[in-house]
Structure 1
Amino acid sequence: MCNGKIRSVIEIYTSRFEYQNAKVVLRSVVNDVSLEKVSNSILPDLNEVNTPWLKIIENSDDLRSAVLQMRRKSFGSELKSLPEDSRLSDYEDALDRHYYKSAIKTLKANNPATRYLRDYLAMEIDHRNMLNILEADSIGITSEETANMLIPGGKILPTRSFSTIATGGRSALLDILRGSSRFDMAHFETLLEQVSKSRSLDSVVTWFKEREYKFMKKMSYLHPISPLPIVYYVAMKVQEVADLRIIVRGRFAGLPPEVLEEHIL
């Protein structure tokens, strides 16, 4: 398909799918989801790429045994270094940190296309950190645990702000966001009012996905002679599959069309 520098940049984006597969495996093991159910849905056994992942599920007795079977993965040592009594969320946070750290480190070239992809990753990181802070605030976890959930590399929430945010929680987050010129704080506060009423972060998650989609869409035309249009194509194909899953599962569950539309980009 492609090689050289173009391939290396594209792989920075596509490598995330291996991390996502690792999360699927860990969640399946923790929740005791049958191998048959996983192989017939999110990791179809018709795709040979999924075979090693399905074998991990088949051969795992618990979360730690699944982690040890991933030791040869790029993120294997990161997962193995966590305490044996770590929770699923700890492993998922470690996967996120490892992916973004590796991706940003690889994007060293100083050209417009690379900078744009770095900015996109920074947006994703900021969004994840905001959601983590809101979730931490809602369940009342400690400032130390909150700090461990945060991922370095964002622009709106730089690493130097982490200690302040971890200590001050949601109010500290909002103070920092109010000082940012690149964030629609008014709309965000409106969404937070909805969150308070519904006790669900769905509206915030959907808005973040819309922001990422608009940013990603520009990759299709801003730098045509670069890897970005290919990254955009891959991302949109993945999104199509995700939307189809939402539609099929939503209709099966009896959700009305307007609810499904709210969750589809």
Structure 2
Amino acid sequence: MAASDGTKYAYMVARVRAMKSKLIPREMYPKFLNMEIPEITRFIGESEYKKDVDELSKKYSGTDLFEHALNQNLALTYRKLIEVSQNEANILITEYLRLWDIWNIKTILRGKFSGASEDEILEDVVSGGQLRYRDLSEIVRIGTLEGVIGAFARTPYYPALEGYKGDLAQIENALDRMYYTNLIKAVSATGNKLFLKFLRTEIDLKNLKMLFRMKRAGMERDDIIKLLIPGGMELKDSDLTRLASMPLNEFVRALEEYSYWNAISDVSGDLTSLVNIEPRLDKYGLVYASRISYYYPLSILPILDYILSKKIEVDNLRIIVRGKETSLPEEIIKAHLVM
């Protein structure tokens, strides 16, 4: 990396290192498993989540408070990254965090489709992208699915939504494809090859999760291919077509040809269990981001590493509390964690 490239990221990387140092240490998660929900809430109320817990405790309590505090903190953290970044870093972070716009649109559509209440839908909204919480709240109050879709007419996401004919999966897939297509274009325009490599690896991991899910569901080859995202690092279009065509057991054996196999080969028991597979693939993505950011310390990569690490912290906390709320056995909760 040229010296000038490193210099332009030096300030942002210093900010992000300070933020990363405040993440919850990994060794705390096994301790959380031995705590009750009020104890965990008290712990995060004395951490970087204090301001969010204090503010939201006037409106929520129990697990509702926990959920909303996590989501608000995550959204504000990501917005801070956008606000303190400049030039290329700002462009790349802004485009990458549009993932949360996609997440929120899907969350609202699924909620409306299933008849969830406004509060239930808003509990899962994370306004970490370009769509503000206030605007999303107003959209949630719209009564019909068609009305919700119409509310996004002036956003860049509408082309993926306007073709809705009652098939929600088709719309969700169109949103994912639009997001990654636009992101690859934006990253390619900056010439940032490190981000492009990171992004293509992320697409591979997303496709692997989709392949496992769809094969377990017994979907046909052509239907699976429609749901996969082009542009991956190792899994090219020809690889995806071949893997989609295989029966589940052959598909699992074929994965030995790819570097991702190391992430799942030592999973004990049934390799086809998504409880085992998906956290391992998430861990692969996190370790990969951490490793390449170490080799390129003055680049976009430490920022991406932090974005992933923060998301996984929130996911882990949510998994633990939801698991305890539904009285899941500790070993089941632990299997879902990314540590």
The TM-score normalised by the length of structure 1 is 0.82
Q: Is the 8 A contact 2:100 2:126 kept in 1?
A: no
Shift of 1:178: 3.4
Rounded Cα–Cα distance in structure 2 between residues aligned with 1:43 and 1:83: 22
Equivalent of residue 109 in structure 2, options 12, 26, 29: 26
For the pair 1:42 / 2:124, whether they are aligned, the reply is yes
The 1:166–1:251 alpha-carbon spacing in structure 2 relative to 1, beyond 3 Å, is closer
Match of 2:57 in 1: none
Rounded Cα–Cα distance in structure 2 between residues aligned with 1:106 and 1:171: 38
CA-to-aligned-CA distance 1:100-126 (integer Å, 9 cap, x gap): 111111112686xx3332222222222
Match of 2:99 in 1: 16
The 1:258–1:170 alpha-carbon spacing in structure 2 relative to 1, beyond 3 Å, is closer
Match of 1:236 in 2: 309
Equivalent of residue 187 in structure 2, options 107, 111, 115: 107
Match of 2:261 in 1: 184
Structure 2 counterpart of 1:264, one-letter code: L
Match of 1:95 in 2: 175
Q: Is the 8 A contact 1:133 1:169 kept in 2?
A: no
Equivalent of residue 225 in structure 1, options 280, 295, 298: 298
For the pair 1:152 / 2:233, whether they are aligned, the reply is no
Equivalent of residue 65 in structure 1, options 147, 157, 161: 147
Shift of 1:31: 1.4
Matched residue count: 252
Larger Cα-atom Rg = 2
Structure 2 counterpart of 1:230, one-letter code: I
Once the two structures are aligned, what percentage of the paired residues are identical? 23
Match of 2:45 in 1: none
Q: Is the 8 A contact 1:29 1:61 kept in 2?
A: yes
The 1:104–1:169 alpha-carbon spacing in structure 2 relative to 1, beyond 3 Å, is farther
* Structure 1 vs Structure 2 CA RMSD: 2.7
Shift of 1:138: 2.5
Match of 1:260 in 2: 333
Structure 1 counterpart of 2:161, one-letter code: L
SS in 1 for 2:211: helix
Shift of 1:252: 1.4
Match of 1:126 in 2: 204
Shift of 1:161: 3.1
Shift of 1:22: 1.1
Equivalent of residue 85 in structure 1, options 163, 166, 170: 166
The 1:129–1:36 alpha-carbon spacing in structure 2 relative to 1, beyond 3 Å, is same
Q: Is the 8 A contact 1:107 1:118 kept in 2?
A: yes
For structure 1, the residue ranges without an aligned partner over 5 or more in a row are none
